[in-house]
Homo-oligomer: A and B are copies of this chain.
Amino acid sequence: KKQYRIAVIPGDGIGKEVVPEGLRVLEAAAKKHGVSVHFDHFDFASWDYYEKHGEMMPEDWKAKIGKHDAIYFGAVGWPAKIPDHISLWGSLIKFRREFDQYVNLRPVRLMPGVPSPLANRKPGDIDFWVVRENTEGEYSSVGGRMFPDTDREFVTQQTVMTRVGVDRILKFAFDLAQSRPKKHLTSATKSNGISITMPYWDERVEAMAKNYPKVKWDKYHIDILTANFVLHPDWFDVVVGSNLFGDILSDLGPACTGTIGIAPSGNINPEGNFPSVFEPVHGSAPDIAGQGIANPIGMIWSGAMMLEHLGEKQAAASIVGAIERTLGERTLRTRDLGGNADTAACGKAVAEMV
């Protein structure tokens, strides 16, 4: 029987506090469902490591974690101590690029016990996935500055879309839509304003749709799409977007379901050539770090996504069910959700219910 080897990287700030709760729940679920998991812990991809070594990760980071079945990642970044282009681009974005994690997958689901900022929405009304391209697009490193410090100064940056890059994320999104009862795909575009890359995106969506006659699809410009997330969140089933549009939609979506604080995500290499990274959507939250009050649900839910990715569907489902039951009890929720549990109490509650 296969033993899964998971690389655990807590990172910075509340990452360090929520990872132990995520592991507690993963261990409980693994035990209950007869899944064998081994965890290897790493301290790099953090400010602490950078302070000691002058770099975010050791030179042989790929050798260290590249053969694991998955990476369980807390959060990275501490803007007051270290600039984003070092911390994020030296870890999180490096993983995405060098491990070819071209899918960023995030559920948008209204959970029991979490008050939605939207009026009159209840659990069940909002339940969709955002599929984000995770390696190219607007997050390119191509560009520069000319005529610095003069009135002629200008800066450019390219958005880059490759045929390979666009087609594979669309294929993933159409496959996901086809596997769901509603079979509905929505593409985020802005081809009326961004007049070269976005019409190309639209063109590839149309071509890919031909392979999926059972999937109903539509497209919205990103401006009205964000409006519709607020006005009609029940319209959506699978929403696919470029790196930037997916980034925006996968923060806005969780906000519409109450909080970024519980949202999970997967940075996925679907072919399994490289390990995928599972991490909560929230960041390292320096303002509340060290107090033991962070909400561990985003981290725990990311663990469920990791098990699902590994093919352990039952263990994954039992975690999601335990999250729902925990959130349903006010006393088991953390303070950000109007409860009074601390990080550990909330994590223990989920672990007991899996």
A residues contacting B by CB (< 8 A) are 77, 84-85, 88-89, 93, 115-120, 138-139, 141-145, 150-164, 190-197, 199-200, 222-224, 226-228, 230-231, 243-244, 247-248, 250-252, 254-256, 259-260
Contact = CB atoms under 8 A, between A and B. Distances in A.
Copies in the complex: 2
A82 to B, nearest CB: 12
A223 B130 CA distance: 13
Sort A-B residue pairs by CB-CB distance and give the 9 closest, nearest first: A227-B255, A223-B251, A153-B163, A157-B196, A143-B196, A84-B192, A119-B119, A226-B252, A157-B197
A277 B230 CA distance: 28
Contacts of A77: 192
Contacts of A88: 192-193
A155 B145 contact: no
B248 A226 contact: yes
A3 to B, nearest CB: 36
A145 B223 contact: no
**Counting chain B CB atoms within 10 Å of each CB, which of A156, A190, A228 scores highest?**
A156
B89 A224 contact: no
A193 B247 contact: yes
If over half of A's interface residues share one DSSP class (helix, strand or loop), that class is named, otherwise mixed; here it is mixed
A193 B96 CA distance: 12
**Counting chain B CB atoms within 10 Å of each CB, which of A117, A120, A197, A243 scores highest?**
A117
Nearest to A243: B193
A259 B259 CA distance: 23
A197 B156 contact: yes
A192 B164 CA distance: 25
A160 B164 contact: no
Contacts of A193: 88, 93, 138-139, 243-244, 247
Contact of A157 (B84, B93, B159, B223): B159
Nearest to A164: B151
A223 B260 CA distance: 11
A91 to B, nearest CB: 12
Given A223-B252, A244-B190, A151 B163 contact: yes
A86 to B, nearest CB: 11
A157 to B, nearest CB: 4
A268 to B, nearest CB: 18
Nearest to A191: B84
